[in-house]
Amino acid sequence: MSPLTPPPPFPSFSFPLEGDDEELEKLKRKIEADRGFNCQFYKEKCLRRRIAVRMRARGQRTFAEYGQLLDRDPAEYDHLLDTLTINVTKFFRNLETWNALEQQVLPTLFEGKGPVKVWSAGSASGEEAYTASILMREWLEKERRLHDAGRIQITGTDIDRRSLEAARKAEYPELSMAETPGPVLQRWFSPGPPFTLRPEARQGVSFERRDLISGEPLQGQNLIFCRNVVIYFDRDIQERLFKRFYDALAPGGFLVMGKVETLIGEARLLFRPVNNRERIFRRPL
Ligand SMILES: C[S@@+](CC[C@H](N)C(=O)[O-])C[C@H]1O[C@@H](n2cnc3c(N)ncnc32)[C@H](O)[C@@H]1O
């Protein structure tokens, strides 16, 4: 293109960031009926932006047209659900949080004798759940308590089937390892990419599909991670979730949220802060 050639025109249709409410409602109902993904719980702006990403990728102008495309080409659903659920995650995401957990939470967690139950809620492809496993094993080793590793029970849950499949496979691309300290990488993964997690760190870790909002919560947990999940939910759903987490925790159990998230409403009275900066809270004993 010569420097004098005008740039190509901007795409001739604007994306549906507002308007078309009725069509959008229909599309939401369709997605729920076909794939059981309840769009009603998600922030409207977020949802529109994400659906627009897929519409643009497939050259569709209206929600109705895109709905028809989903009927003609159901494989598009996989791309749409990937886009809607935002599965981005990493091992040791926010390293400072893991350091704080090691110092302020692990000693208490392993004080007793029974199982140490950890729930990674919205686990995506498993990096968070496995990071918890690695952290605990390294700590136990340092404390000369490796015999306690058998007490670790970590459950990762997510709504997205493809992420869960990836979690069970435990093979990771370079991007997943970007925040992982070198020695940890060498010790716990086979050389990659893909970096395969060693079987020892997979022991006691399992994954299951569970919708955080409409599914049954786990019970009797000692530590719950719910990081970078609730930001996508409406405020009242967030409040409901925090209460569910409170019930899912054993007394004295810990809740860890994402760095950009915070407790709201009555939930603020339910939990005691352990480390405000790292978003670590505790259900009182
Ligand atoms: C950005 S990832 C967060 C992954 C990890 N917790 C972290 O912080 O790195 C958000 C995850 O929440 C999951 N998610 C979204 N809505 C959900 C729901 N209603 N029930 C269960 N999981 C959900 C998505 O599928 C996605 O894997």
State in Å: Cα 233 to ligand 1 middle: 11
Query: Residues 223, 118: contact at Cβ < 8 Å?
Result: yes
At 262, the amino acid letter reads T
Please state the separation of Cα 56 from the chain's center in Å. 25
Give me the tens of pLDDT residue by residue for the chain, a chain 285 residues long. 344 454 444 343 455 555 688 999 999 999 988 887 888 888 888 889 999 999 999 999 999 999 999 999 989 998 898 888 788 899 999 999 999 999 999 999 999 899 999 999 999 999 999 999 999 999 999 999 999 999 999 999 999 999 999 999 999 999 899 999 999 999 999 998 999 999 999 999 999 999 999 999 999 999 999 999 998 888 889 999 999 999 999 999 999 999 888 898 999 999 999 999 999 999 999
Cα of 146 vs centre of ligand 1, distance in Å, is: 31
Total length of the chain? 285
Find the DSSP H helices in the chain.
21-35, 44-57, 63-72, 76-85, 95-104, 106-109, 127-142, 161-169, 182-188, 199-202, 235-248, 267-270
Q: How far does the centroid of ligand 1 lie from the alpha carbon of residue 124, in Å? A: 5
Q: How far, CA to CA in Å, does 184 sit from each of 132, 152, 180, 188?
A: 13, 19, 7, 6
Q: Which residues line ligand 1 (CB under 6 A)?
A: 85-89, 93, 122, 124, 128, 158-160, 163, 211-213, 227-229, 258
Q: Report the sign of the C-alpha dihedral through residues 219, 126, 232, 23, in that order.
A: negative
Q: Which residue has the tokens 């970590």?
A: 154
Q: Probe ligand 1: pick from 41, 154, 158, 256, max atoms within 8 Å of CB?
A: 158
Atom of ligand 1 nearest to the CA of 225: 6
**96-104 long-range CB contacts below 8 Å, 24 or more apart?**
96/277, 96/278, 97/256, 97/259, 97/278, 97/279, 97/280, 98/131, 98/135, 100/275, 100/277, 100/278, 100/280, 101/135, 101/256, 101/278, 101/280, 102/135, 102/139, 104/274, 104/275, 104/280
Ligand 1 centroid – CA 85 distance (Å): 6
Return the ∠ at Cα 144 (arms to 138 and 146), rounded to 5°.
Answer: 60
- 278: Cβ–Cβ under 8 A, 6 or more apart, which residues? 94, 96, 97, 100, 101, 256, 259
Q: How many whole angstroms from 230 Cα to the centroid of ligand 1?
A: 8
Q: Is the peptide bond before 6 cis (omega within 30 degrees of 0)?
A: no
Whether the upstream peptide bond of residue 194 has omega within 30° of 0, thus cis, is yes
Best mutation site among 207, 229, 237 for ligand 1 pocket (most ligand atoms within 8 Å of CB):
229
Q: For residues 93 and 263, is the Cβ–Cβ distance under 8 A? A: no
Closest Cα to atom 11, ligand 1: which residue?
A: 122
Gap from CA of 225 to ligand 1 centroid (Å): 11
Residues 245 and 224 sit within 8 Å (Cβ to Cβ): yes
CATH 1.10.357.10 fits 95-282, yes or no: no
Give CATH 3.40.50.150 domain extents, the chain. 95-282
Joined together, the tokens standing for residue 113 give 């004798």
Number of H helices, E strands in the chain: 12, 9
pTM for the whole structure: 0.86
